[in-house]
Copies of this chain bind each other. A is one copy, B any other.
């Protein structure tokens, strides 16, 4: 079963907004065994919409459309859908009008004719009631194909997908089971992994695919399979997952699609361990990545952003002598920073990062991209020097990924 997503709206094509709706919809469709063949973003232009609908119909069974349902002149999705699907007239949809009236009375706004017109729909569609906004969600059937037009407002679309669209698709189609399983790796590149996993990949049966999804400092490996629901495909996938894990014991971080800092939080929370940070060149990035995860306070105490020499001394007790003699980016300083965090912040583990993010501040000895990272527990501290590139934001991101990887490896070692 294949679907296509068409997003309609000038704001995507001029780059004003990033189309995050499509990725979310694709995830939901994949989860019920519907493959997304193509995602197409087009402007509010009738001819272009008609062509996109025709092209999507030729490839897919299910066409999901978002956007272009607002009350203003430039929103023409509804009448263009009506034209494409051979509607005879527009009819007022009572329940939608009720929603429109309710919303306007809630915000005490005067209701205009354009708002009432929102509740008019093509006579040959089935309305899936949108109780969160004024734009109706419309389902059309044509031959064996289904077209569903939804508003582009993310929470309205998500609510409609969850409560109406997905249940209808599950009921109407005999869907195969699709399984994905993701392994997060850190510290090695895509081509190294591909070389390591060559034999396993070569021996995969045709219905199982391995994909490499690289990001700065980490690569996700995704095994996926489409099959009929009765097969023991999860078990089969597990076999290959285990083969991969065994092949790269020092590089895998998690057997699920989570970022590395979340894997660390899970591991530390299970062992009731606490964490603090001492960030110089990462400047809050480690903390920010950690604290985006709900519940992180069970593990994360906080830390110091020690950008200046004075802060390194005040918060972490780094000796002015050490800073003077070896500089802020040195093994001596990073060790004092990590040990200072353990002592002053009183946590089981600490990460310290100090480097030259750039673009300025490099020397011949310590070029931009030189970063020292240390990871400590109450007994011992390890420090490592990295040489990244000359781009500030990348150096920060790479430093954060390397620091998390070092902590993860140390935790694995310490916890056995």
Give the residue name and chain of the B residue nearest to A220 (CB). B16
Q: Among the listed stretches A19-27, A169-177, A228-236, which one makes contact with chain B, having 4 or more residues with CB under 8 Å of it? A: A19-27
Q: How far is the CA of A220 from the CA of B304 in the complex (A)?
A: 33
CB distance from A390 to the nearest CB of B (A): 10
A181 located at the interface, meaning its Cβ lies under 8 Å from any Cβ of chain B in the complex: no
A283 located at the interface, meaning its Cβ lies under 8 Å from any Cβ of chain B in the complex: yes
B22 touching A41, Cβ below 8 Å: yes
* Interface 0/1 of A109-127, CB less than 8 Å to B: 1101011000000000000
**With A72-B212, A304-B304: A112-B37 Cβ-Cβ less than 8 Å:** no
Within residues 88 to 115 of chain A, which ones have a CB less than 8 A from any CB in chain B?
106-107, 109-110, 112, 114-115
Within residues 256 to 309 of chain A, which ones have a CB less than 8 A from any CB in chain B?
257, 276-277, 279-292, 294-297, 300-308
A73 touching B222, Cβ below 8 Å: no
CB distance from A391 to the nearest CB of B (A): 7
B42 touching A74, Cβ below 8 Å: no
A291 touching B283, Cβ below 8 Å: yes
Complex contacts, A106 vs chain B, CB 8 Å = 387
A248 located at the interface, meaning its Cβ lies under 8 Å from any Cβ of chain B in the complex: no
CB distance from A259 to the nearest CB of B (A): 13
CB distance from A108 to the nearest CB of B (A): 10
**With A114-B195, A191-B114, A305-B305: A214-B153 Cβ-Cβ less than 8 Å:** yes
Complex contacts, A87 vs chain B, CB 8 Å = none
B302 touching A311, Cβ below 8 Å: yes
CB distance from A237 to the nearest CB of B (A): 15
A168 located at the interface, meaning its Cβ lies under 8 Å from any Cβ of chain B in the complex: no
Complex contacts, A41 vs chain B, CB 8 Å = 22, 38-40
Q: How far is the CA of A17 from the CA of B24 in the complex (A)?
A: 9
CB < 8 Å: which of B114, B345, B360 contacts A294? B360
**With A212-B72, A287-B284: A189-B109 Cβ-Cβ less than 8 Å:** yes
CB distance from A182 to the nearest CB of B (A): 8
A109 touching B192, Cβ below 8 Å: yes
Q: What is the count of identical protomers in the complex?
A: 2
Q: Count residues of chain A with CB under 8 A from any CB of chain B.
A: 113
Complex contacts, A295 vs chain B, CB 8 Å = 360
**With A15-B24, A38-B41: A307-B291 Cβ-Cβ less than 8 Å:** yes
A30 located at the interface, meaning its Cβ lies under 8 Å from any Cβ of chain B in the complex: yes
A310 touching B301, Cβ below 8 Å: yes
Q: Among the listed stretches A76-84, A140-148, A392-400, A404-412, which one makes contact with chain B, having 4 or more residues with CB under 8 Å of it? A: A392-400
Q: How far is the CA of A40 from the CA of B314 in the complex (A)?
A: 53
Complex contacts, A24 vs chain B, CB 8 Å = 15
A36 touching B22, Cβ below 8 Å: no
Complex contacts, A280 vs chain B, CB 8 Å = 302
Interface centre among A212, A297, A307 (most CB of B within 10 A): A307
Q: Among the listed stretches A5-13, A239-247, A319-327, which one makes contact with chain B, having 4 or more residues with CB under 8 Å of it? A: A5-13
30 contacts between A and B (CB under 8 A): A12-B22, A13-B35, A13-B36, A14-B36, A14-B224, A16-B213, A19-B23, A37-B43, A38-B48, A71-B190, A72-B212, A74-B212, A106-B387, A110-B192, A112-B195, A283-B290, A283-B300, A284-B285, A284-B289, A284-B290, A285-B288, A287-B288, A288-B288, A291-B307, A292-B396, A294-B358, A297-B307, A301-B310, A302-B308, A303-B305
Given A18-B20, A310-B346, list of 4 further CB < 8 A pairs?
Answer: A15-B24, A17-B213, A19-B23, A284-B291
